[in-house]
Amino acid sequence: MLGLLARRGAWSLLILFVVATLTFFLSRVVPADPAAFLAGQNASPEAVARIRAEYGLDRPLLSQYVAYMGGLLHGDFGRSIRTNRPVAEDLRAFLPATLELLIFSFALYLLASWFLAILAVRWRGGWVDGTIRVFTMLGSGIPVFWLGMALQFVFFYRLGWLPIGGRFPIRAIPPPPVTGFLLIDTLLGGNLHAFGQALAALLLPAAAIVINLLAVGTRMSRAALITEYARPYVRTARGKGAGPGRILYRHVLRNAIAPVLAATSIQFGYMISWVILVEVIFDWPGIGLYAYQSFEVFDYAPVVALAIVSTLVFLVISLGLDLLYPWLDPRMREATS
């Protein structure tokens, strides 16, 4: 167990190092000169040079790199030219929104894919099974950004049921921040109306993300359920008089979840990518939208920070899923120790 943890930890550090190095050297070949941009159109060469020195852009590449990596170790991502604040501070302000959308979508994804898989297996080979397969496949064929806009068209422009974007109504007073997650903060404040508003804002972005991934998720869960149902212990349980509900929830589901979970981290990688797209579409004030708006004005440090932070989130989650696996399935404990 500890060996696995150490190996995976070292591997994660290596990947972070590669991403940081790659993005750093790429960011220094940007054709547009950020210092010239910041100084404005009519700036004198002296003003541009002063800004270049201020941001350390005039030093040799290697010393910039060393300083940059040293800063990263202390959680310093440099300064954003657009907001004129340390990127780390900006990230702290925007990350909770991203994490809330990510976690909400992931929960929705797990619930929906297992629910559909259970339905499909219950009526295996029948029209329910077929319908679920066709519709999830159609969903996965729709590009996420287009689906997001189509949902906006139907549920905002036509039906007017859900907000077009944002995390909370502009004129409403948000709850006092405790966790940074609006769903939790509104509940802590005991404000059910605000909770409803926060939930309504989450629905469309999360749906756009989840619908794209449901086909793979449902297929994996369905296959795992079918494999488990074919095992002898199910027949034994049936012979001992256990009802279908008991067999499903106490026996089959428990055994089926673990192997699917291991494959879920790949899905999670896509989910992070889709969150960034969806934030742009729905004006969701997370790190994706922050990096996008910075990039629009050639401010590159936030884009690099986005790449590093989302890689970190991905690594932590896949490590967590790998550790969850032996915890859920005792048979795996011996294999990994």
Partner 1 sequence: MSGSALAIRRARRLPPMPPAIVVIAWLAIAVLLLFALVPDWLAPHSPIALDILHRLQPPGLAHPFGTDEAGRDIFSRVIYGTRYSLGLAIVIVFSAALFGVAYGAISGMAGRRLDNLMMRVVDVFFGFPVLVLALAVAAALGRGLSSVALALGVIWWPGFARLVRGEVQRIRERPHVEAARALGVRGVALMRRHIIPFVVQEVNVRVTTDIGYALVAITALSFLGLGAQSPTPEWGLLIRDSRSYFGDAWWYLVFPGLMVMLTTAAFSITGDWLARDRHLGRGG
Q: Give me the residues that bind partner 1 (CB under 8 A), please.
A: 11-12, 14-15, 18-19, 22-23, 26-27, 29-32, 141-146, 149-150, 152-153, 156-157, 269-270, 272-273, 276-277, 280-281, 292, 295-296, 300, 303-304, 306-307, 310-311, 314-315
The nearer residue to partner 1, 96 or 165, going by C-beta atoms, is 165
The nearer residue to partner 1, 152 or 186, going by C-beta atoms, is 152
Smallest distance, partner 1 to C-beta of residue 87, A: 14
Smallest distance, partner 1 to C-beta of residue 228, A: 27
R_g over Cα of the chain = 24
Q: What whole-number distance in Å separates Cα of residue 277 and Cα of residue 226?
A: 35
Q: What whole-number distance in Å separates Cα of residue 23 and Cα of residue 41?
A: 27
The nearer residue to partner 1, 97 or 252, going by C-beta atoms, is 97
**Long-range Cβ contact pairs of 87-92 (< 8 A, separation 24 or more):** 87/301, 87/302, 87/305, 88/305, 90/290, 90/302, 91/287, 91/290, 91/305, 91/309
Around 229, how many Cα atoms within 13 Å sit in the side-chain half-sphere?
A: 16
The nearer residue to partner 1, 88 or 182, going by C-beta atoms, is 88
Helix (H, G, I), strand (E, B) or coil at 145: helix
Around 32, how many Cα atoms within 13 Å sit in the side-chain half-sphere?
A: 11
Smallest distance, partner 1 to C-beta of residue 100, A: 18
What phi and psi values does residue 86 have, to the nearest 5 degrees? -60, 135
Smallest distance, partner 1 to C-beta of residue 320, A: 15
The nearer residue to partner 1, 187 or 319, going by C-beta atoms, is 319
Smallest distance, partner 1 to C-beta of residue 29, A: 7
Residue 325 CA to chain centroid, in angstroms?
20
* CB distance 303 to 291 below 8 Å: yes
Smallest distance, partner 1 to C-beta of residue 258, A: 21
The nearer residue to partner 1, 108 or 272, going by C-beta atoms, is 272
The nearer residue to partner 1, 11 or 123, going by C-beta atoms, is 11
Smallest distance, partner 1 to C-beta of residue 143, A: 5
> Which single residue is written with the structure tokens 């549920």?
155
List the beta bridge partners of residue 79: 86
Report the candidate in 180, 207, 221 with the shortest Cα–Cα distance to residue 93: 180
The nearer residue to partner 1, 252 or 305, going by C-beta atoms, is 305
Residue type, 67: A
* CB distance 328 to 257 below 8 Å: yes
Smallest distance, partner 1 to C-beta of residue 272, A: 4
What are the strands, taking DSSP E only, across the chain?
Answer: none
b/e map 167-176, b = 16+ CB within 10 Å: bbeeeeebbe
* CB distance 90 to 84 below 8 Å: no
The nearer residue to partner 1, 48 or 315, going by C-beta atoms, is 315
Smallest distance, partner 1 to C-beta of residue 165, A: 11
